[in-house]
Each structure stands twice: as C-alpha cells, then as structure tokens.
Amino acid sequence: MPFPSRDAPLVQRVEHRLKSAARALGTADPFAPSRDLFMRTFAYPADDPRYRDNALMPMAAPFEPSFSETQPGKLRFTIEPLPPQASSIDRRDESTREMRRLVGSFMGGDALRWFDQASEPYRGFARPGGNLDYGAFFGSSFDRDGLYASKIYYELPDGGGMIDDMPISLGRIVRPALQLVPGLKPLFTTMAAQRDMGGQRLTFACTEPLRLADLQPVMDVLGIGHRLPGIMQMLGLVLGGRFELPAHGALLAFGEGPNGPDFEIYVLLAAIPDVPPSFLSLLTMGLAERPRGLAALERWMGAFTPEDEHWPGRFSIVSLRTDATAPPRVSLYLRPVEFELPPEALQVAA
C-alpha cells in the first residue's frame, strides 16, 4: 500500500499507519471497528492548517499512539474525535456513542451497563455555550484477538465540578490528593472498559511546581508510599537527575483497581526545559532489568516508524503507574513524525 500524499485526506495516513503497526505488532485491524469515526475526524488533507488547534496534539493531527509496559504488544491510540470545527458538546456526545457501540458490540451487555451507569453524570452536564474546551477524547487498544479496551476521557468543567458525582470509593481516593498536593486542578475523568473489567480515574494538572518527594504524604494515605522511591529512581534517571517538575509540567491520575488505589504520574516533556538529549537511551537503561518490557518498547517503536524514516517522532509524555502490589511501570506517548503539520501550514494558520 503506497504511502498517501499530503493532499490526500488524512484518514488515509491514519489507516496506513494503524494497519502497518498492527502487522508489526501482530494485532487485529484497529482501523475497521471505528472506520466511520476516523473518516469524519480526518477528512481534510494531511497538511490542512485547521488541524493545528486541537487540544490533544497542538500543531499536529490529533492522533496519539502510546506504549504501555503493562500492555506489551498491544496497539493503543487516542484521538480527538470529529473534524476541527466540531463543538465540545459534539465531541463529548460522539465519544459516548462510539464507546457504547464498541463496548456493546465487543464486550457485551454487562460491560455496556457498567459504562452507562458510570458515565451518566458526565454525558449531559454541559450546555452549549458552557465552559468546555474539547469535550472528550476517545481511545482504543487492540491485541491479536481484537478490541482489548476502549476509553473515553470526559473533560471536566472549569473549577473541577462533578467530583461529587464520582463513585464513593473514587472520591475517598481523590480527596486526600486535593488536600495534600498544592495546586491540583481536575482536568478529566477517564472511563476504561476492558474485556474483563472496567474502571474510572480522575486526572489533575499540577499548576504549581511539584517536588517528587512531596508526593509521599498522599501516597502514604493511599497505602502506596513504598512505591515512591521507584518512581523517583526512574524519573530521576530519564530526566537527568531532576526531581522537581515545573508548574504545568505534570499530571497526576488517581483511580481504583483490583489491588486498591492506583496512581500514575505523567511528565509533559515539552514543559521540561532540560530533558536530556539521551532521554530514550536513559529510559531503556532503566528498563534493562525488565527485558520483556524493553523488547516490547523496541518493537512498538519499530511499528510506528515510517518506512522512509529512522525515528517514529517526538515523545510527548512519559508516565509511571503503580499500586500496592505492582511496582512502577512505564508508558510512553508519541507525537508521530508523519502527522506533524509542515511549517508552511503553520505559517498560513498564524
């Protein structure tokens, strides 16, 4: 299949990359289940400047693949659904429809009933003209057997409303975070449905500088304080000895899984002024004692490297997720080189 030209609809590039990556990773076709949504989201040419202002991947097409050490070999991606001119309410509603369709079709009635109940407070809280920006993001994960997981990220209104509508168990987890970590701003809640389980999380932006050591009190309250040294060791390694993140340089996510509270810290690499040039080498060094995870990362990078390139693109986020029984595990988010807007498109938009 020849690589699509820049004047072809961007959906052709998305299809090409997803199917190529699926072959490399040995997964089912990730394009066909959401073909209609992809067609409507990426209908403009690849270099159309209207793509630049999306909330997921500014200055590039809103398509973000990611690697997860906890899901080796799976093909994961997130999109900002619908074309650039769509409203936040339309994105929220379309993400909900797509999630319900996939969950009902691939995971069955029990999973759909769980999602309908969990998402009810977030599907109708905003009115046209309200204070939402993007509304929602949508994501999926595939393995060799087909759809493994489907995810929706519901944007929360300014001021972090809707926390009181969360499950009681999740509220008991996020309230200590608000009390013990200064400057947290609720951003979005994530609903994830997998074949065997479903879960909800709340993600905060850190609007003030964050010292990693200052996470100890909240992690102690959640019973996972023993995991902080592992987080600091890995982030200190890949960030060249940095243990303090600037304001707006990190996100913190809290949820509840089979092993109790879980926690994830996302480092927004574009906000870090001195990320080492050898970032990826340092990351692979940190994974050296986990050869399965390292091999999966190398395979994933190959799957998302274009045929005429030596590199898949720029990494936008590195995260570490942990709970009481699982040590911190790495996820890496990619800004694919083939979906970057060319300089002339950005100049036209400006």
Q: Where are the domains positioned within the chain?
A: 10-349
Exposure class string for 122-133: b at 16+ Cβ within 10 A, else e = bbebbeeeeebe
Q: Look at residue 166 in the predicted model and tell me its pLDDT.
A: 85
Q: Which pLDDT score is estimated for 309? A: 86
Instruction: Report pLDDT for 161.
Output: 59
Q: Confidence band (pLDDT; 50, 70, 90) for 347? A: low
Distances (CA, A) of 71 to 11, 94, 106, 296, 307: 26, 26, 19, 9, 25
Encode pLDDT of 236-250 as tens digits.
999 999 999 999 999
Q: How crowded is the C-beta side of 31, counted as CA atoms within 13 Å? A: 16
Q: How far apart are CA 285 and CA 292, in angstroms?
A: 13
**Tell me, what's the pLDDT at 128?**
44
Average pLDDT rounded to a whole number, residues 31-50: 96
- The answer to whether 303 and 20 are in contact (CB under 8 A) is yes
- Assess whether pLDDT exceeds 60 at residue 348: no
Report the 10 Å Cβ neighbour count for 5: 11
Sign of CA dihedral 42, 43, 44, 47: positive
- The CA angle 323-329-334, to the nearest 5 degrees, is 130
Q: 118-162: per-residue pLDDT in tens?
A: 999 888 754 444 578 999 999 999 999 999 999 999 999 875 556
Taking 70 as the threshold, does the pLDDT of residue 330 lie above it?
Answer: yes
Q: What is the pLDDT of residue 165?
A: 78
